[in-house]
Amino acid sequence: MPDAALALPRLIAHRGLSARAPENTLAAVRAAHGVGVDWVELDVQLLGDGTPVIWHDAGLRRCSDRRGRLADLDLAAARRLDAGGWFGEAFRGEPMATLTEMLALLNELDMGVNLELKVNRGRDPRALVAAAVPAVMEALPPSRRLLSSFNDAALAHARALAGPEALSLGVLFEGIGRDWRRRCEAVEACSVHADWKRLKAPRAREVTAAGYRLLCYTANDPLAFAPRWAWGVEAVISDDPPRFMG
């Protein structure tokens, strides 16, 4: 249920300021901070050697100069990737960020994070949680951390691992189905995260009336999104949050 310690903002930068910098990189987080956004949404998963890194896809091709699977890399191989040149020449040589490096930057900038536990096909949710969740809980205060996932097993293991400590969890949905409350209650979630285009007013009001915090992803058109604020949406996750400012 709702976590009063969680200082959730109105605007969250999706994978960092991904409209203006390569997604899920240290550069994208610095860019978000540079435009006055205090929180970022990022993805974490494991390299083949068990190192948690900030990365979305199962593969490397879309966001680097390499092909292949993330699961086949160790940290030494990951260090040789260029995770920025695909986006623009100014970012050539940008490294893949480890979770440790990203947490250090978030603390340096006093930023919060909605960290998605990204469980791609064939990957072990328990291993990801064991590697990532304790590190996040140690590095950031409860007010600046929210862990979310589409994967119920990852969320359940995170809840079990946290024990009595404060840990804000969010359940990710595309469309919010009829079983949304069961899924949230099973992991003691505090928030529901929905695809903004598939969110309907009755379900949104049902979620907020039950006391859950409602976030929407990935909205980039402030005018099209505007009616949803009245439905009780608390935060929007956007590739370009400055469009929603002012």
Whether 204 and 197 have beta carbons less than 8 Å apart is answered as no
33 part of the active site: no
Choose the catalytic residue: 14, 33, 157, 193: 14
Residue 218: CB partners within 8 Å, gap ≥ 6?
14, 195, 196, 237, 238, 239
Residue with tokens 């096909």: 121
157 part of the active site: no
What is the Cα–Cα distance from 237 to 228, expressed in whole angstroms? Answer: 13
Choose the catalytic residue: 33, 56, 157, 193: 56
What is the Cα–Cα distance from 84 to 110, expressed in whole angstroms? Answer: 24
Tell how strand 235-238 and strand 52-54 pair up.
unpaired
In 10 A of CB 135, how many CB atoms? Answer: 16
Q: Report how far Cα 150 is from the mean position of its chain's Cα atoms.
A: 11
228-231, long-range: CB < 8 A, 24+ apart: 228/196, 228/199, 228/204, 231/199, 231/201, 231/204, 231/205
Task: Give the catalytic positions in this structure.
Answer: 14, 56
